[in-house]
A = this chain, B = another copy of it.
Amino acid sequence: IANKNLLLMPGDGIGPEVMTQAKRVLNWLQETKRASFNIEEELVGGASIDAHGVPLTDAALAKAKAADAVLFGSVGGPKWDKVPFNIRPEAGLLKLRSELQVFANLRPAKVFDALAAASSLKPDLVRGLDIMIVRECIGGIYFGEPRGIETLPNGEQKGVNTEVYTTHEIQRVGRVAFELARKRQNRVCSVEKANVMEAGLLWRQVMTKLKAEEFPDVELSHMYADNCAMQLAKNPKQFDVIVTGNLFGDILSDLAAMLTGSLGLLPSATLGAKDASGRIPGFYEPIHGSAPDIAGKGVANPLAEVLSLAMLLRYSFDMQEDADAIEAAVERVLAKAGRTPDIKAEGRPTISTSEMGDALIAEL
């Protein structure tokens, strides 16, 4: 097993707490000789602002680029509310995604059997749910120019952001969605507001052409973003793979995750294109945020971070068996161990972040 370079970026809020448990799983992988990693760690977000004045240093970025994969925690919190916009904590995350060129953010919304009752939706609507949302991640209104706040001659201010998508940007994320669908139920739903936005109209046209030319075997449907939010709330199981832009993906994937009732359990993988040496840049983070309200209390659920590590093993290191082993251990822990407060259930003791880590290591 070759030595893999892994960069850990715990970030802010509950990020460091959940990362600590993911590190225990990494240790387990090394101690049991399943793998050997060169592991480094870097600050990002508010933690990096506090130490270095910027949310991502050039040195940290260079290490992320050099690494074979990056495991990320979460960034942001009220502590940095007054920081200037261009160096706010989130800018560190966005710069990482953009500089690593990881354009396809894979966000599974999956309901764990043991947790169907935890959803705010009626159990029948979510039991067995397994959607994959593919969110374009380095384009759209998050990065489009012009942007900024300017003062008008009359003293008013004007805030501007620009949604931009090109054929190429749409195609490459579209291909990821179609490829994934082929390994699943073979259905892609492409989401935009083509009835209101030209950028959405182009999105729809490019997806339609891509399907016809390269994926005639995959079913493609189109849906407006507002309707998609409704359909997710009404009957989420109608979806297999959803592909959408950065902003709609942000909202719809969070919504889908919340509907599973398992937000503290959901990982994500963000992948780029294969480079000349055959390497695919991979960036892994839980769907949940930094949750400042519970940070430092030792009550956060570490399983989303651990499952992000499992995705990392699967997609970046091709370690299918170890990924399977971790995912199976998580299922067993959910079936019998105590629960962190986010997924608390009658008859189950409430346990802490580190106790959840204990339970997981015991299962492994």
A259 CB–B CB distance under 8 Å: yes
Q: How far apart are the CA atoms of A243 and B35 in the complex, in Å?
A: 51
Inside 8 A of A198's CB, which chain B residues have their CB?
Answer: 85, 147-149, 159-161
Nearest neighbor of A249 in chain B, beta-carbon distance: B226
Contact with B along A236-276 (1 / 0, CB 8 A): 00000000000110111011011100010000000000000
Give 6 new A-B contacts, CB below 8 A, not counting A90-B196, A225-B250: A121-B233, A147-B197, A160-B198, A163-B163, A229-B255, A233-B259
Inside 8 A of A162's CB, which chain B residues have their CB?
Answer: 160-163
A297 CB–B CB distance under 8 Å: no
A201 CB–B CB distance under 8 Å: yes
Integer count of this chain's copies in the complex: 2
A152 CB–B CB distance under 8 Å: yes
Inside 8 A of A165's CB, which chain B residues have their CB?
Answer: 158-159
Taking a contact as CB atoms under 8 Å apart, the answer to whether A159 and B257 are in contact is no
Q: Which of A77-123 contact B (CB under 8 A)?
A: 85, 88, 90, 94, 120-122
Taking a contact as CB atoms under 8 Å apart, the answer to whether B233 and A199 are in contact is no
Q: Which of A180-232 contact B (CB under 8 A)?
A: 193, 195-203, 206, 225-227, 229-230
A233-B251 contact in complex given A141-B197, A156-B166, A197-B161, C-beta closer than 8 Å: no
Contact with B along A38-71 (1 / 0, CB 8 A): 0000000000000000000000000000000000
Q: How far apart are the CA atoms of A302 and B84 in the complex, in Å?
A: 50
Q: How far apart are the CA atoms of A225 and B202 in the complex, in Å?
A: 24
Taking a contact as CB atoms under 8 Å apart, the answer to whether B142 and A196 are in contact is yes
Inside 8 A of A201's CB, which chain B residues have their CB?
Answer: 85, 149, 159
Do most interface residues of chain A lie in helix, strand or loop, or is the interface mixed? helix
Taking a contact as CB atoms under 8 Å apart, the answer to whether B202 and A230 are in contact is no
Residue tally, chain A, CB below 8 Å to B: 60
User: Which of B88, B158, B196, B258 contacts A234 (CB under 8 A)?
Assistant: B258
Taking a contact as CB atoms under 8 Å apart, the answer to whether B229 and A159 are in contact is no
How near does chain B come to A1, taking the closest CB pair, in angstroms? 38
Q: Which of A128-180 contact B (CB under 8 A)?
A: 141-142, 144, 147-149, 152, 156-168
Taking a contact as CB atoms under 8 Å apart, the answer to whether A141 and B158 are in contact is no
Taking a contact as CB atoms under 8 Å apart, the answer to whether B247 and A233 are in contact is no
Taking a contact as CB atoms under 8 Å apart, the answer to whether A226 and B200 are in contact is no
A159-B199 contact in complex given A254-B227, A258-B234, C-beta closer than 8 Å: yes
A359 CB–B CB distance under 8 Å: no
A76 CB–B CB distance under 8 Å: yes
Inside 8 A of A252's CB, which chain B residues have their CB?
Answer: 229
Inside 8 A of A163's CB, which chain B residues have their CB?
Answer: 141, 159-163
A30 CB–B CB distance under 8 Å: no
Q: How far apart are the CA atoms of A274 and B47 in the complex, in Å?
A: 49
Inside 8 A of A203's CB, which chain B residues have their CB?
Answer: 159
A235 CB–B CB distance under 8 Å: yes
| 29 A-B residue pairings within 8 Å (CB atoms) | A76-B195, A94-B196, A120-B121, A120-B235, A121-B122, A141-B196, A147-B197, A148-B198, A149-B198, A149-B201, A152-B166, A156-B167, A156-B168, A158-B167, A159-B165, A159-B198, A159-B199, A159-B202, A161-B162, A161-B163, A225-B250, A226-B251, A226-B254, A227-B254, A229-B258, A230-B255, A230-B263, A234-B258, A248-B251
